[in-house]
Structure 1
Amino acid sequence: MQARDVADCVAIVNHIIALGGSTAYETPFSGDGFAAHYLGEPPVSNVVLRGERIVGFQAAFDVGDGHYSIGSFTDRRAPVRGAGRALFDKTLADCRARGGVAILAKITADNAAGLAYYRRMGFEDWQVWPNDHTRQDGSMVDRIVKRFAL
């Protein structure tokens, strides 16, 4: 991911936020906020293209002890089959090259699509963090932590 990719990535994630139900994020990103979080923080951040169009992005944040916490978003307006797999294959290789021992996916329990995606990628259930996320309406949601050993 590069600075020139920010606007396309913001459009993808903000559309997902607007749809609701498949991300913990509930407030849309600004370009600067997105760049600070997804370009400034993670040591691994990738986009996937169809032709020259960005159809998804994924980042892996270093959370210590060789563990990376992953976030994945693909275009829901014009989905491209295989985009999530392509992203994960690249992110997996990048985390391994950095000497990582595992990738974690922290998904809210109400995100059925996210839970299914990480299960398809080979992640295993690892932990449940009860009432770890508070929705804007005040409801509490468990966070399911899935782990992929490197």
Structure 2
Amino acid sequence: MAISIRPYQIDDAPQMADILNEIIEIGGTTAYLSPLSAEKMKAKIAGGGERARWNIAVDENEQIIGFQWAEPHSLLPPEAASIATFVRVGVVGGGIGSKLFAVTCAQMRALGFIWINASIRSDNASGLSYYTKMGFQDWSIEPDAALSDGRIVGKTHKRYNL
């Protein structure tokens, strides 16, 4: 499968919402528990500000197979960005995450960030593995972190120095 990475375009929001919603629907380990409409996805993207970057992974048919964003976060210092990555259910391999991360890292460096934080549910084995593979290291663990529905799942914070 040929994979290319490009910046987000407004017409991408419906496919992005579909990817995230499928993960939510099957009980995936994202912190998001409620489906997002395309309009809510657009609003989230617009709310990221001028230092946020959203990147899209597409296959040879221009179908979105994954996306990643990085942006400032109110719980992090100004030199740190927060990152999130989502890949379409059933699409694995081909270096989707690695290709997205390479582009995101270059963008975050150019914006003056010094490090990137990934906050991952502690029960999300694939997410923890992905960020470790990208070179992130644990810097904080919240064993009692709860989801919006009250379930305690814990949260692992990983750091990548740019």
TM-score by length of 2: 0.86
- Across the aligned residues of Structure 1 and Structure 2, the Cα RMSD in angstroms comes to 1.5
- Give the aligned partner of residue 147 of structure 2: 134
**1:24-103 superposed matches below 5 A:** 24-41=31-48, 43-51=52-60, 52-63=62-73, 64-103=77-116
Deviation (angstroms), 1:95: 0.3
- Give the strand-richer structure, 1 or 2: 1
Deviation (angstroms), 1:80: 4.9
Identity %: 37
Paired with 1:2 and 1:144, the residues of 2 have a C-alpha distance of 31
Match of 2:128 among 115, 120, 131: 115
**Which amino acid letter does the alignment assign opposite residue 19 of structure 1?**
I
* Number of residue equivalences: 149
> What residue ranges of structure 2 are gaps of 5+ in the alignment?
1-7
Deviation (angstroms), 1:26: 1.1
For residues 84 and 39 of structure 1, do their structure 2 counterparts lie closer, same or farther at Cα, with a shift above 3 Å needed?
farther
**Which amino acid letter does the alignment assign opposite residue 143 of structure 1?**
K
Moved more, 116-125 or 40-49: 40-49
- Give the aligned partner of residue 2 of structure 1: 9
Q: Is the 8 A contact 1:108 1:133 kept in 2?
A: no
Paired with 2:15 and 2:96, the residues of 1 have a C-alpha distance of 15
Moved more, 53-62 or 39-48: 39-48
1:22 maps to 2:29: yes
TM-score by length of 1: 0.92
Deviation (angstroms), 1:81: 2.1
Q: Deviations over 1:68-91 (max 9, x none)?
A: 000100111344521111111110
